[in-house]
Amino acid sequence: MHGRILRSQGARAEFLRSHSLTQCPPGYHVDHKIPLWAGGRDTKENMQLLTIPQHAQKTREDYVRYGSGGFSPTPIERISLTRATLTALG
């Protein structure tokens, strides 16, 4: 698993269906309200749709609120968070 937390594609699909969606809309991410690495559950009740900049901001806040929990973003996730921050700043 290489330090990554396995996510349930079924739970994600169930969340999207509950919002009459078959896929995540462009410019949005499915976020766990309480991160999995902080003990959150991989259930539709713990998921929300956030814009990419909102998701980047929430992730930064989650690190402050919950600590890293031993989780570290991959280089690709770091790039994504950085790009979203720059986009949000305009």
Q: What is the maximal distance between C-alpha atoms in the chain? A: 36
Q: How many CB atoms lie within 10 A of CB 22?
A: 7
Mean pLDDT of 22-30: 95
What is the pTM assigned to this prediction? 0.70
Q: What is the DSSP string of 5-54?
A: PP--HHHHHHHHHHTT-SSPPTTEEEEESS-GGGT---SGGGEEEEEHHH
* pLDDT band at residue 72 using 50, 70 and 90 as cut-offs: low
Residue 2 has pLDDT above 50, yes or no: no
